[in-house]
Chains A and B, each alone.
Chain A
Amino acid sequence: AQSVAQPEDQVNVAEGNPLTVKCTYSVSGNPYLFWYVQYPNRGLQFRLKYITGDNLVKGSYGFEAEFNKSQTSFHLKKPSALVSDSALYFCAVRDIYSGAGSYQLTFGKGTKLSVIP
């Protein structure tokens, strides 16, 4: 079974400061990892993914995430937060060795990011 934990329900950060949204995962094999963002009353928007290769993944809007296999983590980061980054962030995982139903993603419960002006 695969699972994702987002240990913080809410993260508050001042505009211009660096932000981190934490994610840890559990899979039986190797993971595919994803970050999605959701603005109020909207669907989820893909932000970035780790499939293989460089542990530091750079995505859109200045976001990046670092895959750490030993700590089973995939934290989302941004050097300088904007008020417009305020949203609900979801981490998701898929085990690359999954059989039938292998396209299933397991999502974390979400972290609400608030960037304070």
Chain B
Amino acid sequence: DVKVTQSSRYLVKRTGEKVFLECVQDMDHENMFWYRQDPGLGLRLIYFSYDVKMKEKGDIPEGYSVSREKKERFSLILESASTNQTSMYLCASHPTGYYEQYFGPGTRLTVT
């Protein structure tokens, strides 16, 4: 089975802190994605990556950056956390040529 893991299920940070969210997949997938999920807004794509050291902006990249130094790991970085970044963050992956994405369990981030 494909396994996508996220470093934390719940995280509480203070405004202005630098926050790292980690995602790891164990199936050698080329493509990885970061979404945020908010009630009434569904899932919105923040960043995605097709390969190591490669990144592309999604629909809402402002206030975020990403890093992909190894194929299995895709990190989302909040350079200076703000309260409007309180949300559920979901990571997903899939291999090239495949259609559906596989999701991690999510990280519920609260910024106070």
Contacts and interface: CB of A to CB of B under 8 A. Distances in A.
> Are A and B genuine complex partners?
yes
Interface string B72-112: 00000000000000000010101010011111111010000
A104 B48 contact: yes
Interface residues of A, number: 23
Interface in A80-117: 90, 94, 100-101, 103-105, 107-110
Interface in B36-69: 40-45, 48, 50, 56, 58
Contact of A101 (B44, B56, B99, B102): B56
B24 to A, nearest CB: 14
A90 B41 CA distance: 11
Interface bracket on B: 20 to 34
B90 A105 contact: no
Nearest to B4: A43
Interface string A20-51: 00000000000010101000011111100101
A101 B48 contact: yes
A109 B48 contact: no
